[in-house]
Amino acid sequence: MALIETKGLTYTYPGTSKPSIHDVSIKIEKGEFVLITGPSGCGKTTLCRCFNGLVPHFYQGEIKGEITVAGINTLDQHTYEIAKHVGLVFQNPENQLFALSIEKDVAFGLENMGTAREEMRKKVDWALHQTGIYDIRERSPHEISGGQQQRVAIASVLAMEPEIIVLDEPTSFLDPLSAEKIFDVIYKLNKEQGITVVLVEHRLDLTAKYTNHLIVMDQGTVRLEGDPRDILSNEETRRIGVGIPKATLLYQMLKKENCNLGNKTPLGSEELADQILEELKGD
């Protein structure tokens, strides 16, 4: 069974008439690195909120269709139950940290769950190490950079040992270098700990190379889904207004001029550079 599965999921926020997501049916398997993208207002964020029950429990409103996450029907479970399986990381790091020291923030979820102190200590330390912030664990949130704050936010859901981590544009306030560090942390969690990652982003330049399952949304519906190499070479993706990574775009332009670069659409600069080197060193 898929780890996340939705069937005909349609949801309308209270006080609005138009559904924010409409007839969404997707399957996410265990261990995948899923990237959801699409123009602003396409329903990406709303879909994320469905994954951990914020929609509909926190936001109310009208929901139709089916959704199971880690074997749970999120429609009839409390958010705090789902939180043990799905960690949600938000865009603005500042508003996710509410304690006065970093390790206390990381412990917040475990404290809520009533975890015993020694066990909590172990899990907190593990999460701090995984995200590379162990050395700054006693600092206060004012003393660290935005990138570090976002790593604290990741550690704080990681400590609850979820099977799935959902990140909603986690780096849009960060400079590219800090962003890259965040993506490295997430990628490592996916590869080494087998945590399923669902990442919402519209900067594919930075993220396409990590993914093995791409979902393109537009106006509340899923328009394209599957292998990122196929989807990024699909003309439809460009028409929806998704920013294709420059390396992928360059590859397509060269292919149009009948360049021989193999048939693997590159997702990042390394892949493209290798293909060009291959061709030019060729014989």
Partner 1 sequence: MSIFDGLKFRKVNSLIHNLDPRIKFVYVIGVFIAALLFLQIIPLLALFVIQLPFVFLARVQQQWLRSLRGAAFLAAFIFLINIATNFFGGGYTLTPSNIEGAAAMTLRFVVLVESFSVFFLTTSPDHLGLALEQSRVPYEFAFAFTAAVRFVPVLAEEAQTIMDAQKARGLELEKGNLLKRIRNYIPILIPLIVSAIRRSLELAEAMESRAWGACKKRTNLYSLQLHKGDYALIGITATILVSAIYAYFFVSIPTIVNLLS
Partner 2 sequence: MIEVEGIYYSYPSKVEALRGVSLNIKDGEFVAIMGQNGAGKSTLVKHFNGLLKPSVGTVTVDGIKTVKSSVATLARNVGFVFQNPDHQLFSETVEEEIGFALKNFGFDVKVIEERITWSLELLSLSQYRKTSPFLLSGGERKRVALASVLACDPKMLVLDEPTIGQDYEQKEKLRQFIMQLQSQGKTVIAVTHDVEFVAECNPRVVLMKEGKIVADGQGHQILTDPAMLEAASIVLPQIAQVFTKLSALGLSKDIINIDEAKRVLLKAMEKHKR
Query: Is there binding between residue 71 and partner 2 (CB under 8 A)?
Result: no
Q: Which of 39, 65, 132, 262 binds partner 2 (CB under 8 A)?
A: 39
247 binds partner 2 (CB under 8 A): yes
Residue 260 CA from chain centroid, whole number: 34
In angstroms, the CA 203 to CA 232 distance is 13
From CA 172, how far away is CA 174, in angstroms rounded? 6
Q: Distance from CA of residue 251 to its chain's centroid?
A: 26
Residues 45-64 within binding reach of partner 1 (CB under 8 A): 52, 54, 57-58
DSSP state of 208: G
Rounded-to-integer distance, Cα 63 and Cα 11, Å: 4
> According to the binding rule CB under 8 A, does residue 277 interact with partner 2?
yes
Residue 112 β-bridge partners: none
CA dist., res. 73 & res. 192, Å (int): 28
Binder among 145, 191, 230, 264 for partner 2 (CB under 8 A): 145
253-275 core/surface letters (b: 16 or more CB in 10 A; e: else): ebeeeeeebeeebbbbeebbeeb
Comparing CB distances to partner 1, the nearer of 85 and 223 is 85
Task: Please give the radius of gyration of the chain, using alpha carbons only, rounded to the nearest integer.
Answer: 20
Q: Judged by CB, which is closer to partner 2: 35, or 127?
A: 35
CB 51 within 8 A of CB 164: yes
Residue 253 sits in the site that holds partner 2 (CB under 8 A): yes
Q: Binders of partner 1 among 143-202, rule CB under 8 A?
A: 143, 153, 156-157, 160
Could you count the other beta carbons within 10 Å of the beta carbon of residue 144? Answer: 18
* Distance from the first to the final alpha carbon of the chain: 48
92 versus 219: smaller Cβ distance to partner 1: 92
Residue 38 or 109: the one with the smaller Cβ distance to partner 1 is 109
Contact of residue 98 among partner 2, partner 1, none (CB under 5-8 Å per partner type): partner 1
Closest approach of partner 2 to the CB of residue 274, in Å: 8
- Interface residues toward partner 1, by CB under 8 A: 52, 54, 57-58, 78-81, 83-84, 87-88, 90, 92, 94-101, 103-104, 107-117, 120-121, 124, 138, 140-143, 153, 156-157, 160
- Interface residues toward partner 2, by CB under 8 A: 39-41, 91, 145-146, 169, 172-178, 180, 202-203, 205, 241-243, 245-247, 249-250, 253-254, 257, 259, 268-270, 272-274, 276-277, 279-280, 282
